[in-house]
Amino acid sequence: MNQNAHAVICSIWPIDDKENAEFLEKFYSFMSNGLSSSDALRKTKLYFVENNYSPSMWGAYVYYGNDFYLAKKDTTSVFFYITLVALVFLTGLVVLIYKKRKLKPRFFKMS
C-alpha cells in the first residue's frame, strides 16, 4: 500500500505453495468470469469452505484496497477493422466507377 497500489491481496500467515497456487487459480477463474476482486476473493473462500478445505489454507487471505476487474477484451479494435474494410471497399468501388466512366480529372487551367 505504501507503493500506491490500488489493492493488495495477501496472506497473514505462511501458506504452502501448492495450496497457494490452487487458491489463486480459483480466484483468477472467478475474476475472469467478470467478478470484482473482492467478490472473487469471497467466492474463492466459499468454494474452499464448501469443499471441506482446512481454514488454515483459505482463511489466511485478506484484501485491502479498492475493487478492480481484469481487463476486458477491447471491442474498439474489432470496430476499427470493420470500418477499415468498409472504407477500403468503398474506395475501390469509387475507383472502379471512375475508371468505367473514363472520367478524366478536371484541373484549372492557368493562364
Q: What is the pLDDT of residues 27-39, one digit of tens each?
A: 999 988 888 888 9
Q: What is the pLDDT of residues 11-65, one digit of tens each?
A: 898 988 999 999 999 999 998 888 888 899 999 999 999 999 999 889 999 988 8
Phi (first) and psi of residue 64, to 5 degrees: -125, 135
Region of residue 44 (phi > 0: left; psi between -120 and 50: alpha; otherwise: beta) = alpha
CB 58 within 8 A of CB 49: yes
Domain boundaries, the chain: 7-65
Cα separation values, 4 from 7, 8, 12, 54, Å: 9, 10, 20, 33
